[in-house]
Amino acid sequence: MGAATAAAVQMHYLALILLPIFAILWIKELLAKKGTFFWRGTIVGIVTFLLLMSPLLIFDLKHDFLNYKSITGLLTQTDSVGGNIWENILRIPQIFSFNLIGRYMAGENLYLTLALSALVIFALLRKSWPVFCLSVWLIIGLLGISFYQKDIFDHYLGFLNPVPFLLLGSVFALVKARTLKTLSIIFIIIISIINLSNSPLKNPPNNQLQRTQNVAKFIIDQLDEKPFNFALLAERNYDAAYQFYLEQFGHKPKLLPFEKTEQLFVVCENPVCDPVYSAKYEVAAFGWRLIEKEWNEYGVRIFKIVHNPEEDRQ
């Protein structure tokens, strides 16, 4: 459990939702038995978690706590995490059926999504320790992810996606009659065909890592060895990756508003961008500005912004 949790958290910060899930299961086990094996397993699990998380800690110590700032930023941005608890609870059925069942299992087929959702819910009605674990995992996981207010992409549910598969398997395990077993196998084959035929793995990759590196190198080529500020305008990305590679390549951006330079480079990943009038803090803190140059490179728009002398005089 310690190893799995460390792996999941490093894949995406939202996997931190696993921590309260494991806490509930740990308390349930504590109340049931307090033997040496339980405590030894607890200690080994914690040590394993910390050991596998240590490279992330070492990375943060070397790079000004980059990941820590990303996590705290994610949790403290009211437009990303929060919302009314009752409104969030009302979102759970949609997240469960569409994002979890529909996207992961049913290939977005409506009828198959409804059928699989019903079977997974039916599996929760059984009383056993494994079903209890999976129920806590599913319910707390869905409640936790409902507090995320932006689009929920498939990989955000990586910490939760094993649950419906295991619950569905538990339903098929109940089938004893030979005829029903045959029908179950046919149903599983149908699910697999529909799922694979609509798999996002068929989509071409966006090569995000390579693109980020290329954009960082392109910006460095335009610097004329002068200090600069940097900003990203994107609905579905963060500037941490660009900041990281700019620093790795020996050109760390200066931070606004304390280190205002004479040039601001803005990367725009949105279809429509106007960095001159953008209200984003990393852009607005630069002051009155105008576009000196603009490029379309590697699937993004890159702007070189300078101060507007006429506005500054006003």
Query: Could you state, in order of their start, the residue ranges of all structural domains in the chain?
Result: 1-76, 84-203, 208-313
The answer to whether the CB of 67 falls within 8 A of the CB of 59 is: yes
Query: What average pLDDT does the segment 257-278 reach?
Result: 89
Range 19-26 average pLDDT: 92
> Are 146 and 91 spatial neighbours (Cβ–Cβ below 8 Å)?
yes
Of residues 221 and 11, more confidence is placed in 221
Average pLDDT of span 210-216: 93
Average pLDDT over residues 115-135: 93
pTM over the 0.75 mark: no
- Closest among 251, 232, 237, 227 to 301, alpha carbons compared: 232
- Better-scored residue on pLDDT, 269 or 204: 269
Cα–Cα distance, 232 to 239 (Å, whole number): 6
- At residue 251, the pLDDT reads 93
Q: What is the pLDDT of residue 313?
A: 46
Per-residue pLDDT band for 77 (boundaries 50, 70, 90) equals low
Torsions phi, psi for 64 (to 5 deg): 55, 40
Cα 195 to chain centroid, rounded: 22
Q: What is the average pLDDT score of the chain? A: 88
DSSP character at residue 155: G
Query: Could you give the C-alpha distances from 216 to 37, 38, 153, 226, 240, in angstroms and in order?
Result: 51, 49, 26, 15, 12
pLDDT above 90: residue 203? no
Q: Is the pLDDT of residue 310 over 90?
A: no
